[in-house]
């Protein structure tokens, strides 16, 4: 079964903050989804052999000069198309309707009055609560369209073309604020596109094993292990695809958590039937980071040094190495603006996506590049990895370097390691590790006045970050029990010399990112 044989839904991303959610909802419904640039050529769209296409929302107005558009011949593909918000307006405009400013901008929850409870709106109660976010709307609906639903301020809130396979909704079915949204998307996937909902992680594993086997052939692969779930799952998959052809390399970059090196060596030597090399490069990484405060520059330098160390280690691998395996995920590529060209903004530079030198010297193998984090964990379970590895919280490739805001020194690393160790120890003790998605400490570039004993202190401030998320594209801060936070704060201030204040980060993503740098 090839990638083309999947039930694939293409999501043309016009820049909506919800585009990734659309892709997630499609996968949750049992179809495979890919985000693609809105200006992708018709030939490239056809090459994916899609079962359907979704046009996302976006911040622009279709009436603006230079607004993003798709190929006007899109409907020649003959597959069902669903337009959401901006995508609906664009689709309607391409098919002869008029778009203009709405009489009243609509933002937030509103009531959808269903007029035609079939096709897209089959089984949807009326009125239904939906989430709106628009200033434009379809103001002149062509006679070629049928109006399916309306809201008090939007007469054409859901429409269907009478001859083309096009449906449009002005609201956002992908967000949780639209309770019936899952059913609407499922109606589109199953009723309009004919998807069976059969895409499963076991199928992905078989496909990816075959793809890696074909890509690698008889050559050798090196895989960088970080101790996290991404590299562990990538290594296990590649080991299954090309047994005996992979060497795993763990680089001690001096930016690891407390006891990380020992834990990684123990875990991988016992659970992987692969050659494992451990490289001590702590001095090299720390020398590269001396005096560097800019987070992007930190990532670039770490990426360059990482490859330099790998190139040296690869020369020692028997038989020579052609491929470098990485646990790059779909969110990594999306946030780096490399999942597709066009409207995607680069939020941060991921060391395993955009921080690599051009003279890489290896061909990349990225078996997880189309998966979200929760899907990687599911794949790990299918592969039979230990639960301790599968459910381990994410740890950034650049390590503690991006959890120390400002200059990275040996002293600041030692301080943060102790704080982070205490934090995770208390999270485990409170049985909260599996119910939180990511928990870590951040060393801030400020000092504050405090009192210890009878003396005045002027020491460091540590931030605590704890989030819950299903896909790490969006995240909410965890409402950790006050008593847990109190224990963490008390222990850090009393046990870690140099810290006199602990603060708790209650930001969501967006607008903040999960990591601070």
Positions marked catalytic: 85, 172, 174
- Other C-beta atoms lying within 10 Å of the C-beta of residue 234: 29
Please report which residue ranges of 160-259 form alpha helices under DSSP H: 181-186, 201-216, 229-241
- Other C-beta atoms lying within 10 Å of the C-beta of residue 502: 21
Please report which residue ranges of 217-369 form alpha helices under DSSP H: 229-241, 260-271, 282-289, 295-315, 330-335
Is residue 24 within 8 Å of 11, Cβ to Cβ? Answer: no
> Which pair of tokens denotes residue 219?
């050559």
Helices vs. strands in the chain: H and E counts, helices first:
14, 18
Pairing state of beta strands 98-114 and 52-55? unpaired
Going by C-alpha positions, the residue among 200, 184, 191, 127 that lies closest to residue 165 is 191
> Which pair of tokens denotes residue 263?
């834990």
Going by C-alpha positions, the residue among 132, 333, 376 that lies closest to residue 233 is 376
Say if residue 263 is exposed, middle or buried (CB neighbours under 10 Å; 0-12, 13-18, 19+).
middle
Give the Cα separation of 199 and 69 in Å (integer).
Answer: 30
Is residue 362 within 8 Å of 314, Cβ to Cβ? Answer: yes
The dihedral sign for the CA sequence 453, 458, 460, 463: positive
> Which pair of tokens denotes residue 318?
């028997």
Give the Cα separation of 505 and 205 in Å (integer).
Answer: 37
Is residue 241 within 8 Å of 204, Cβ to Cβ? Answer: no
> Which pair of tokens denotes residue 259?
């006891």
The dihedral sign for the CA sequence 234, 236, 242, 244: positive
Which residue bears the tokens 């203009």? Answer: 100
Going by C-alpha positions, the residue among 39, 8, 14 that lies closest to residue 26 is 8
- Greatest extent of the chain over all pairs of C-alpha atoms, in Å: 82
Give the Cα separation of 385 and 224 in Å (integer).
Answer: 17
Strand-pair partners of 363: 323
Give the Cα separation of 354 and 360 in Å (integer).
Answer: 12
Give the Cα separation of 370 and 339 in Å (integer).
Answer: 9
Residue ranges with strand state E in 437-513:
438-452, 455-468, 476-477, 499-504
Give the Cα separation of 8 and 129 in Å (integer).
Answer: 29
């Amino acid at each position: 079964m090839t990638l083309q044989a999947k039930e694939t839904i293409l999501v043309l991303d016009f820049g909506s903050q919800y585009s990734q959610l659309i892709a997630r909802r499609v996968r949750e419904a049992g179809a495979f989804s890919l985000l693609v640039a809105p200006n992708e050529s018709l030939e490239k769209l056809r090459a994916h052999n899609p079962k359907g296409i979704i046009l996302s929302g976006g911040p622009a107005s279709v009436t603006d000069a230079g607004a993003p558009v798709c190929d006007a011949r899109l409907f020649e593909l003959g597959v069902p198309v669903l337009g959401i918000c901006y995508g609906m307006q664009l689709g309607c405009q391409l098919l002869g309707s008029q778009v203009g400013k709405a009489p009243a901008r609509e933002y937030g929850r509103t009531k959808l009055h269903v007029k035609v409870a079939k096709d897209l709106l089959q089984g949807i109660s009326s009125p239904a609560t939906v989430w709106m976010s628009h200033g434009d709307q379809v103001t002149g609906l062509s006679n070629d369209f049928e109006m399916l639903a309306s809201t008090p301020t939007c007469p054409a809130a859901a429409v269907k073309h009478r001859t083309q396979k096009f449906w449009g909704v002005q609201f956002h079915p992908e967000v949780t604020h639209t309770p019936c949204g899952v059913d609407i998307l499922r109606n589109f996937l199953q009723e309009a596109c004919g998807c069976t909902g059969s895409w499963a992680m076991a199928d992905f594993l078989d496909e990816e094993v075959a793809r890696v086997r074909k890509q690698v052939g008889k050559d050798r692969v090196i895989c960088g292990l970080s101790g996290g779930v991404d590299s562990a799952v990538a290594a296990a998959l590649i080991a299954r695809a090309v047994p005996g052809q992979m060497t795993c390399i763990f680089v001690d970059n001096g930016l690891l958590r407390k006891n990380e090196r020992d834990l990684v060596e123990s875990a991988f030597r016992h659970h992987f039937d692969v050659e494992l090399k451990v490289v001590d490069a702590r001095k090299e990484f720390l020398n590269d980071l001396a005096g560097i405060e800019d987070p992007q520059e930190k990532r670039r330098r770490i990426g360059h040094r990482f490859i330099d160390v790998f190139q040296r280690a690869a020369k020692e691998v028997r038989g020579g190495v052609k491929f470098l395996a990485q646990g790059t995920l779909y969110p990594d590529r999306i946030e780096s603006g490399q999942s597709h060209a066009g409207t995607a903004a680069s939020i941060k530079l991921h060391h395993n996506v955009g921080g690599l030198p051009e003279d890489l010297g290896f061909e990349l193998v990225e078996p997880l590049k189309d998966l979200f984090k929760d899907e990687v964990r599911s794949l790990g379970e299918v592969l039979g990895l230990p639960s301790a590895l599968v459910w381990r919280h994410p740890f950034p490739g650049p390590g503690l370097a991006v959890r120390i805001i400002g200059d990275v020194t040996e002293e600041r690393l030692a301080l943060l390691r102790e704080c982070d160790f205490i934090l995770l120890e208390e999270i485990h003790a409170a049985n909260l590790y599996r119910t939180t998605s990511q928990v870590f400490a951040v060393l801030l570039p400020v000092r504050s006045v405090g009192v210890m004993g009878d003396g005045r202190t002027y020491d460091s401030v540590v931030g605590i970050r704890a989030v819950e998320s299903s896909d790490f594209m969006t995240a909410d801060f965890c409402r950790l029990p006050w008593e847990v936070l109190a224990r963490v704060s008390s222990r850090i201030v009393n046990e870690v010399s140099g810290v006199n204040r602990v603060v708790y980060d209650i930001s969501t993503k967006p607008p903040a990112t999960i990591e601070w740098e």
